[in-house]
Amino acid sequence: MPENVAPPSEERIAYLESLVGQARIAAAVFTQYTQEDVDRIVKAMVLAGLDQAQYLARMAVEETRLGVMEDKAVKNMVATEFVYNYVKDKRTVGVIREFPDSGLVEMAEPIGVIFSITPITNPTSTVLFKCIMAIKTRNAVIFSPHPNAWHCCAEAVRIMYEAAVKHGAPEGVFTCVESPTLEDNAYLMRHKTVALIDATGGRGAVKAAYGSGKPALGVGPGNTPVYLEKTADLDMAVVDIITSKTFDNGTICASEQTVVIDDEIYDQVLRKFAELGAHICNEAETRLLGRTVIDPATGHMQPMAVGQKATDIARMIGLRVKSGTKLLVAPIEGVGREYPLSVEKLFPVLAVCRATSADEALKLCVDVNHAGGLGHTAVIFSHDDEIIRKFGDAINAGRIIVNAPGSIGALGGVYNDLVPTFSFGCGTGGGNSTMDNVNVYHYLNIKRVARRTPAHMWFRIPNQIYFNLNAVENLRQFASRSTMIVTNAALEQMGHVDVVRRSLPPETRVHVLAIPDAEPEVKVVMHGVEALNAYAVDQIVALGGGSVIDAAKIMKLKYDSPDADLDELAAPFLDIRKRVVRFPADASRARLIAISTTSGTGSEVTPFAVLTDKVSGRKVTLADYSLTPDVAIVDPQFVMSMPKGLTADTGIDCLTHALEACVSIHASAFTDANALQAIQMVFKYLPIAYAHPRDEEARSMMHNAACIAALAFANASVGVNHALAHAFGARFGVAHGRANAMMLPHVIAYNASVPSKFMPSPNQRAYVAHKKYAMIADLLGLGGHTIDEKVANLVTVIEQLVDQMAMPRSIADMGISKEEFERAIPDLAKIAFDDPSWRSNPRMPLVSELIDLFWKAYYGRTPAKVVSAPPVEQEVEVLV
Amino acid sequence: MTMNETLQEALGNLDSARGELVLDLSSLRRIDSSELRALKNLTKAAKEKSVKLTLRGVSVEIHKALKLA
């Protein structure tokens, strides 16, 4: 409508502008009011409305020639008393609701100026209702009543306005457009000061409201289906339907339109209708009604019938009925254009339709619902809960009224606890923005004040950890009928398996599964699961490095939960607590005891397991605390014979774990305590363990350090160093620890600089990675005056450690050509970015930055020297 | 003197305001519709006469009402 409507005259625009100006000032002034102010005003308005309910009803009937005065008086009372009862204790100013647990507070913000269109069918009650809602929410309203109901509406506005202003409401809070035209409505709908259009009325008004481009509450026509099911209380149902359909001569758009009746009760129901004053039409009468009260051209009801008495309609069309007839009941055979009476009829003509089964009845109701009633109202009379549920499921209606009259039931607060309203939202089915019974909350902008809430943190580790020499003897305390030792052939040959076997309780049947000494593949895992099932094991002892322990973790997962889909469980996630794919929670069938034979991965205490996908050359990381072993044994006797290269690689892996956990966004005082301890132990004992492999203390301390570092990263996770190393290691077949060593100096420098993108983290109050590195440098006594110097010193001592262990300082040093590396870079960057490890990095990496880091690692750094300066006295700062 | 009277007086004094007019609203707890209209008129008149109108002591609530009016 607005696009095609000519603008009003200049004189008329000046008039409309004066209304808008008044409303704008009133809305502005109103923002200063308190809850007590508006509640006081609302109460006064409600009392005024109640006092004038009959007067306004009489005026409405006289002016509109629609409906029943007595019913309109009741509607006016519902619009005041019932609405008041609903809103009186509702908070609509300032803080309206608080959620202490989530730190959320809802606050009310008035909308401002509302342009409101009101209908001819429920004129004064709609005005009373909207006035009360507006004052309760501190809004100003410009009313544009239906032209044929203007006087009674203007009078209702006056009564409300005078009561409101008398009790303190701002002047100009309500105005009413005199002799409103389509041009006026179009102008006001598009006015920049009008914040919301609330259109209750016919299709045209609602469509115009939504077409204006303004936020709108447009609620329009319906077509209420009723299912009268065989288990219903028929006496109650018939009375309710007559009450509802004749209430105000059927002008409420929620009133019953077509009643679908089960075959078994059909005749009985029609007799009851007749007994209570309905006229049951024969076929000819039904045809007569269909071609007279429904416009054959449009298929919509004829205005001349709207709101008229049944006897008057009968007289108009030449139908002979008894005097006092309340309702014309017209049997129809189906729904659609060939059955004109199956549409909305806002007058006391009711279509009825026989259904031979519940399914047919539901389908007929769906047909009525789709014949102009989508989103509005539906009614069912039944005592069969399953049928009621099916009806609710099948019908698209904002109000599904059960065992009560449709019109009065939908108004709310009388027959049920629906919110009292005179505006029925019909949802998207009806082209509306809401499906609710429109109420005060639709007249408010609700602001949400969201306080920063620290994410929950945790420190989850195995139930028991046994450490130091001969800790393996603790196995004896774990009763088991059938134990599987998962290990590799080399460890078996070294006699480690025998040590474990001797430590188990004598009654335990022991089986050994030797798997390849490589990162586990799916087929290895599945073979292991078969063995676990074959021996019905109740205990798994994983004896080995990270690969063996990871394999055992996944075997146990598949043993406990055969249906677990490893590909699905490896789905990426940003936050382990909010991951989409959940690990199965089946009961554990076997205890998992992990005995590490290297001093690096810490897999014996972590919730991670890595699978290698040979096809893609990619590592798949599984992460879930259900993977954490039940018991960890950290016994240095199993690492005394580690070769030097493995000592170096695993030692740097351990250091990387500790450093990354320390600067992780999930770092806590709990993880820091472990990470910092591990870092100190690495710098003290790794060079000794490397240079003197049989040094029992150094081996023991490094073995403990690896476990302690793992306790930190099991809870704080790792970072971008691991993402890079995973990608690089898998592509070029480089040991994990060695791959970490290539990246470590560059990642520290990267994390210590100002990030191009910060990582969102509610638990971090500031960016502290550089300070933490400096703190580590201080802990190691490296000296340095500034944070930059301390970070540089930390990088230098790491490089010196790498040098001490004769490890390469760059990827180029490893003999990988620049051309080969350059070809690999795009894949490396993609795989590294997909790796979940960096999700806890303090700095969010861009792909371009990952590429830059790869190249830095390729070329390596020029050897540096530690800046020698005595450590400075520092104020202790807690950085987590 | 009521707020409306003050605003009326200020309107009358615009010509002699020598380029600037300062209104102290610190005693005003809440502004009503007529006062807001009068203040808008004064603002408009001051602008027309190139008089800088400065409001002092305006509460947050009144400030918001002025922004919305």
Quote the ipTM score.
Answer: 0.89
- What's phi and psi for A271, nearest 5 deg? -60, -40
- For residue range A552-574, list pLDDT tens digits in order: 999 999 999 999 988 889 887 87
- Does residue A42 carry a pLDDT above 90? yes
A27 touches B at CB < 8 Å: yes
- The CA-based angle A188-A191-A197, given to 5 degrees, is 60
Residue A797 — φ and ψ, nearest 5°? -70, -30
Write down the pLDDT at residue A280. Answer: 98
Distances from the Cα of A478 to the Cα of A35, A203, A630, A637, angstroms? 67, 77, 11, 20
* Chain B residues with CB-CB distance to A171 below 8 A: 32-34
* A622 CB-side CA count, 13 A: 32
Confidence band of A590 (pLDDT split at 50, 70, 90) = very high
- Give the pLDDT score at A863: 66
Lowest mean pLDDT among A74-78, A595-599, A618-622, A643-647: A618-622
- Which A-chain residues 724-783 have CB contacts (< 8 A) with chain B? none
| A112 touching chain B per CB within 8 A | yes
Shortest distance between the Cα of B50 and any Cα of chain A, in A, equals: 24
Contact A31 B36 (CB under 8 A): no
pLDDT tens digit string along A798-817? 999 999 999 999 999 999 99
Nearest CA in chain B to A173: B33
- Give residue-wise pLDDT tens across range A124-149: 999 999 999 999 999 999 999 999 99
**A672 forms bridges with which residues in the sheet?**
none
* Mean pLDDT of all residues in B3-18: 89
> A517 falls in which pLDDT band (50, 70, 90)?
confident
pLDDT band at A871 (very low <50, low <70, confident <90, very high): very low
Q: Among partner residues A22, A27, A172, which is closest to B68 by beta-carbon distance?
A: A27
Q: What is the pLDDT of residue A613?
A: 67
Using DSSP bridges, classify how beta strands A104-110 and A444-450 pair: parallel, antiparallel or unpaired.
antiparallel
Q: Which two tokens stand for residue A581?
A: 């794919």
Mean pLDDT of chain A: 94
Predicted local confidence at residue A731, as pLDDT: 93
The pLDDT of residue A607 is above 50: yes
Q: Is residue A868 scored above 80 in pLDDT?
A: no
Nearest CA in chain A to B37: A25
Distance from CA of B57 to the nearest CA of A (A): 16
Does pLDDT of A822 surpass 70?
yes
- The confidence score (pLDDT) of residue A872 equals 46
pLDDT at A880 over 60: no
Average pLDDT over residues A408-419: 93
| Token pair of A57 as six digits | 């009803």
Confidence band for A879, pLDDT divided at 50, 70 and 90: low
Contact B52, B20 (CB under 8 A): yes
Sign for the CA dihedral angle at A798, A804, A805, A808 comes to positive
Neighbours of A448 (CB within 10 A): 10
CA distance A173 to chain B (A): 9
pLDDT at position A382, please? Answer: 98
- Answer whether B62 sits within 8 Å of A28, measured CB to CB: no
When CB atoms are compared, the residue of B33, B64, B67 closest to A25 is B33
For residue A336, what are the β-bridge partners?
Answer: A339
| pLDDT number for residue A617 | 60
CB contact under 8 A, A25 and B64: no
Chain B contact for A862 (CB, 8 A cutoff): no
Q: What pLDDT is stored for residue A763 in this prediction?
A: 82
Cβ–Cβ contact A107 with B under 8 A:
no
Cβ atoms of residues A590 and A538 within 8 Å: yes
* Residues of B contacting chain A (CB within 8 angstroms): 30-34, 36-37, 40, 61-62, 64-69
Q: pLDDT band for position A864 (50/70/90)?
A: low
Which residue in the set B40, B65, B67 is minimally distant from A32, CB to CB? B65
Q: Is the pLDDT of residue A315 over 50?
A: yes
pLDDT band per the 50, 70, 90 thresholds, residue A6: confident
Does residue A104 carry a pLDDT above 70? yes
pLDDT at residue number A618 = 63
At residue A870, does pLDDT exceed 60?
no
Residue A1 has pLDDT above 60, yes or no: no
Testing the interface with A: which of B33, B39, B61, B64 to mutate, by most A Cβ within 10 A? Answer: B33
Q: How far is CA A427 from the centre of its chain?
A: 21
| Selected catalytic residue, list A131, A152, A153, A253 | A253
pTM: 0.83
Q: Do B33 and A171 touch (CB under 8 A)?
A: yes
Task: Give me the sign of the Cα torsion angle A858, A861, A863, A865.
Answer: negative
Other CB atoms closer than 10 Å to residue A730's CB: what's the count? 21
Compute the average pLDDT of residues A666-694.
97
For residue A786, report the phi and psi dihedrals to the nearest 5 degrees.
Answer: -115, 170
Strands A94-99 and A104-110: antiparallel
Between chain A and chain B, how many beta carbons pairs sit less than 8 Å apart? Answer: 41
With an 8 Å Cβ cutoff, are A170 and B33 in contact?
yes
CB contact under 8 A, B33 and A26: yes
In the annotation, is A426 catalytic? no
